[in-house]
Amino acid sequence: MAEQIFPTGTLMAGKRGLIMGVANKNSIAWAIARQLAAQGAELAFTYQGDKLKRRVEPLAASVGSDTLCDCDVTNDAQMDATFQTLKDKWGKIDFLVHAIAFAGKDQLAGSFIENTTRDGFKSALDISAYSFVDAGRRASEIMNDGGAMVTLTYLGSERVIPNYNVMGVAKAALEASTRYMAADLGPRQIRVNAISAGPIKTLAAAGIGSGRHMFRFNKAAAATQDNTDPMGVAGAALYLLSDLGLSCTGETHHVDGGFHAIGMPQEDALKASMEG
């Protein structure tokens, strides 16, 4: 793939914020981080455990950041420490990017009704939905009025996607949480939005059964007849997190090549995708 060049400018100059969910250079959060940095934002990052630190540290350094916090979102002490670090370093922040999701591999295949366990359900909802409520509350306590938050969701919240299963339920909870958070924080002009991205090749996407079929079908059925470009997702995040997004809150914004708008794919494109 050609090197991505993120448009530079000053839309985020003077703004500081936290990026949660960079695992490697393919992470959606990393595309967003690069776009925000290219527009002048100062960034802090979370990672999970030493293995991930080794990957995230050089990426953070490449956008001028040395603020990294070890943070498993299910660990209250680490969440406390993360937001305390930001408070000590900056006093206030302006934005939060939440790009975190998890469900056990056994929960992401086959029959939803047969395979979804109580523990699997709880942990998917905890890590993939509640963590945004929790991080959003903590962020709001040190956020300047007029700040903004963004989370990442997927169409599996609205429609049945094979194998997405309990993660679809978690994403529905995440989108509803986005609306409630937007209402609570709206009087402070803090905006809270979700980006519903089409499939992108990342570690998280690799955990979902039938990945190859998903990418081929999406390419055939999207209005653009192409897969989703992470640069488009990063551009949407820039709009929602900068002052360009004023008055936009409580929204789930689709960045998926128009896949969500299509009722029936074009016959030729579908045939080609199934044969290819």
Catalytic positions, written as ranges: 154, 164
**What minimum distance in Å lies between the beta carbon of 233 and ligand NAP?**
8
| 202 scored as a contact of ligand NAP (CB under 6 A) | yes
End-to-end CA distance of the chain: 20
The answer for residues whose C-beta is within 8 angstroms of residue 41's C-beta and 6 or more apart is: 12, 13, 15, 16, 17, 95
203 binds ligand NAP (CB under 6 A): yes
Does 240 bind ligand NAP (CB under 6 A)? Our answer is: no
DSSP H or E stretch at residue 133: helix 131-141
Residue 169 contacts ligand NAP per CB under 6 A: no
Nearest to 93 by CA among 48, 138, 163, 143: 143
Using CB under 6 A, pick the residue from 44, 73, 93, 220 that binds ligand NAP: 73
Length of the chain: 276
Contact status: 101 vs ligand NAP (CB under 6 A): yes
Residues 122-161 that bind ligand NAP (CB under 6 A): 127, 152-154
Tokens 């990672």: give the residue: 47
Judged by CB under 6 A, which of 95, 102, 132, 259 binds ligand NAP? Answer: 102
The residue range among 25-33, 35-43, 87-95, 181-189 that interacts with ligand NAP, by the rule CB under 6 A, is 25-33
100 binds ligand NAP (CB under 6 A): yes
Q: Which stretch binds ligand NAP (CB under 6 A): 70-78, 82-90, 185-193, 236-244?
A: 70-78
In our burial notation (b when 16+ CB lie closer than 10 A, e otherwise), range 235-247 reads bbbbbbbbeebee
Cβ contact 87:8 at 8 Å: no
- By CB under 6 A, residue 52 contacts ligand NAP: yes
CB 28 within 8 A of CB 99: yes
Q: How far is the CB of 188 from ligand NAP (least distance, A)?
A: 25
Element (DSSP H or E) covering residue 18:
strand 16-20
* Stretch of 16-24, 83-91, 114-122, 243-251 contacting ligand NAP, by CB under 6 A: 16-24
Q: Which of 21, 136, 232, 265 binds ligand NAP (CB under 6 A)?
A: 21
96 counts as binding ligand NAP under rule CB under 6 A? no
Shortest distance, position 70 Cβ to ligand NAP, whole Å: 10
Among 57, 70, 72, 134, binds ligand NAP (CB under 6 A): 72
Q: Which is nearer to ligand NAP, 21 or 120 (CB)?
A: 21
Cβ proximity of 103 and 97 under 8 Å: no
In angstroms, the CA 70 to CA 8 distance is 29
102 touches 20 (CB < 8 A): no
Question: How many degrees, rounded to 5, is the angle at CA 244 between CA 241 and CA 246?
Answer: 80
Q: Does 27 bind ligand NAP (CB under 6 A)?
A: yes
- Residues 241-270 touching ligand NAP, rule: CB under 6 A, are none
From 236, 156, 254, select the one nearest 196 (Cα to Cα): 254
Q: Which residues bind ligand NAP (CB under 6 A)?
A: 21-23, 27-29, 48, 52, 71-74, 99-102, 127, 152-154, 197, 199-200, 202-205
